[in-house]
Amino acid sequence: MNTNDISSSGDYQINKSSSKGITIGIMIAIGVTAFFAGMYVTNVNSNYISQEELDESISQIRIKNITR
C-alpha cells in the first residue's frame, strides 16, 4: 500500500450494503426513541385517578343509591 493510496483529506467511503444497514439502524433507533418519548408524554399528561379518589367516588355513589 502506497501513501498515495490513502486520502489525506479525511474522506471516507462506505459500502452500499453498510450504508443501508446504518440507515436501517438509525430508522429503528428513531422509532424506538419516538415510542418511548410518546409513552413518557402520555404518562405525564395523563388524567389517572388514584385509588383513594376511586374509593371516595364509589362510596358517594353507594350513599346516593342508599338514600333513594
List, for residues 17-51, the tens digit of each pLDDT value. 788 889 999 999 999 999 999 888 877 656 677 78
The letter for the amino acid at 36 is F
Look-up: residue for cell 371516595?
56
Q: Does residue 22 form part of some domain?
A: yes
The overall pTM is greater than 0.85 = no
The letter for the amino acid at 26 is I
Contacts of 57 (CB under 8 A, 6+ apart): 49
Number of domains in the chain: 1
Q: Does residue 2 form part of some domain?
A: no
Note the pLDDT of residue 23.
92
Q: Does residue 56 form part of some domain?
A: yes
Q: Does residue 42 form part of some domain?
A: yes
Contacts of 27 (CB under 8 A, 6+ apart): none
State the Cα–Cα distance between residues 35 and 19, nearest whole angstrom. 24
